[in-house]
Amino acid sequence: MEIDLGDIVAEFNLRLKDQPVKPRSVPEVGAHLKTTPADRVPSVPQPYSPHTGKVDRIMHMQADKKVPILGMVDLDEMGNKIGPSADQPSYTTDDVAGQFIVLTDNGDGTGLIAATGVLTGVDGAPVPQVTATFPDGHTVVESVNVGVGDVASQAFSFGAPEEVTPDV
């Protein structure tokens, strides 16, 4: 699990005691950047993959950010980075309408995930997944949690209306 804490990222890995972790590949992402209005417009339909419920990694991003996918990196059984994956995957999402994220697959093993500004996991809203599918058919699935963005403005917050004159 990965949690973005602003200037630092906290990573947590869980594994069964006395059981080695299988070698695998994970996406390597760049710095979270501010989005522009053009980043938030999906080309519909986006490259589709069904929601599997299987999640290998979780990414947290703010509603006003985008994250470049730099490619995939291979990990050893202890989770250490070996280096870039030899095979380049294609990227797809279950958010085909682009309600929460806009996914761009550059076709060279890199891509971009941009938040549209809509929060995930709030009031029953789903959490979109991005799937990397390798040429041999194996996949890596990342869940993308979209949370509140940076402060951009202020607004009034009003309470419930109260009657100030008696009813006649």
Interval 78-131: pLDDT, tens: 778 888 888 889 999 999 999 999 999 999 999 999 999 999 988 888 999 999
Length of the chain in terms of residues written? 168
CA 55 – CA 63 distance, rounded (Å) = 21
pLDDT at 13 over 80: no
Domain regions of the chain by residue span = 24-147
Neighbours of 102 (CB within 10 A): 23
Write down the pTM of the prediction: 0.74
Question: Are the CB atoms for 100 and 116 separated by under 8 Å?
Answer: yes
The CATH number that domain 24-147 falls under is 2.60.40
